[in-house]
Amino acid sequence: KRSESKCSEWSRKPPGIRIIRDTIALFISHFEFIFMDLTSLKSVQQFVEMFRARGLPLHVLVNNAGTMMVPEMRTVDGFEFHFALNYLGHFLLTNSLLDILKRSGRQGSRSRIVNVSSATHYAGVVDMEDLNRRACYSSHGAYAQSKLALVLFTYHLQEQMTAGGFPVTVNAVDPGMVDTALYDNLWSLVRSCKVLFLHVCPPQTPAEGASTTVYAAVASEMEGVGGRYVYNGRKTRSADLSYDSELQAELWKKSCELAGLREN
């Protein structure tokens, strides 16, 4: 039962969190919000410790947090912002909870990991010599790289799960163009063009945009299906570069080093 102080605390949460609260409350009787800053490795580790302390199973992990085309900036750990928030934080979170996901799944009811990517990944290039984009910064390039990294990560992790016989599936999804605040960082000329474009091709609502993620997370036809890129409810071919197994392994090794993890 929620206390009055808990309700008061929720009233001070950002509107998006309150919407999530109200939506989830329609389906389940209890849930809990735990703060985590994916741009901070320490914050991710603290979240993992708090979650582990509850002794709960974990059946679905959706890596959905992200930012798009922000000006060049560094996180508290010194990483380029897109790379840290869109990819590395999720990489650390997933690997830190992977043993729980393995234990929670079983044949016929596997645990699921869903990584939310973007069509922009098709234009992405992963520069292993400059993942933080220090040599030449482009907000579009940094965003595209982070979303391609998520797809590379998806395929490599699924390969590990399959090879080890673990009851966990990993998929990447593309929600399409969704009318959210992600576009707020576009500069004025692009925003003007966006208004004209969206008048001709209206974007999806947030609820519609979430449908592909929900499909990958809970649909019965996705049971046992992993290593896929899903767009608009259909399995689609991702960028050719995302299937490069050598690049997948190289990025995995480097990511473990950056996140302070032991390579599997």
Distance CA 4, CA 210 (A): 31
Q: Is the dihedral of CA 238, 243, 244, 246 positive or negative?
A: positive
Strand (E) positions, 64-166?
111-116
Inter-residue contact 217 to 114 (CB < 8 Å): yes
Query: Phi/psi of residue 140, each to 5°?
Result: -65, -45
Nearest to 116 by CA among 142, 151, 140, 167: 151
Q: Which of 122, 137, 143, 183 is catalytic?
A: 143
**Encoding tokens for residue 132?**
């933080």
143 is catalytic: yes
Would you please indicate which residues are annotated as catalytic (active-site) residues?
A: 143
